[in-house]
């Protein structure tokens, strides 16, 4: 059984010129690290599978998001448990 649709969630940050000029001492790390708990919370609320509201693909390229990897692995394990 394969899903008839899939949902992809991607998070890739690229700042615009205006933001970079206003924050010359900033960095992507300083920008993203405070927001990681929100991303992790959202990922933990997702569920894999074949239903219309399932999340099938989650991608991100943030600095320091090691919890994200664990959360995505947990989602995959839930899917495997559901199939067995």
Q: How does pLDDT run across 69-83, given as a tens digit for each residue?
A: 888 888 888 877 766
The residue count for the chain: 84
In this model, does residue 27 exceed pLDDT 60? yes
28-52 residue pLDDT tens = 788 878 888 888 888 888 888 777 7
pTM equals 0.64
The sign one gets for the Cα dihedral 69, 74, 77, 79 is negative
Tokens 């949902």, located at residue = 7
Q: How far apart are the first and last CA of the chain?
A: 14
**pLDDT, averaged across the chain:** 78
pLDDT at residue 22 in the model? 92
Give the list of residues 6+ apart from residue 39 with CB closer than 8 angstroms, or none.
11, 60, 62, 65, 68
pLDDT of residue 18: 92
Rounded to the nearest angstrom, the gap between the alpha carbon of residue 32 and the centroid of all alpha carbons in its chain is 12
């Amino acid at each position: 059984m394969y899903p008839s649709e899939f949902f992809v969630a991607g998070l890739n940050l690229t700042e615009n010129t205006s933001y970079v000029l206003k924050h010359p001492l900033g960095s992507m790390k300083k920008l993203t690290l405070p927001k990681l708990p929100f991303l992790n919370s959202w990922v933990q609320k997702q569920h894999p599978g074949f239903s219309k509201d399932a999340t099938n693909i989650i991608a991100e390229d943030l600095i320091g998001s090691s919890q994200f990897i664990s959360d995505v692995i947990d989602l995959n394990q839930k899917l495997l448990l559901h199939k067995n």
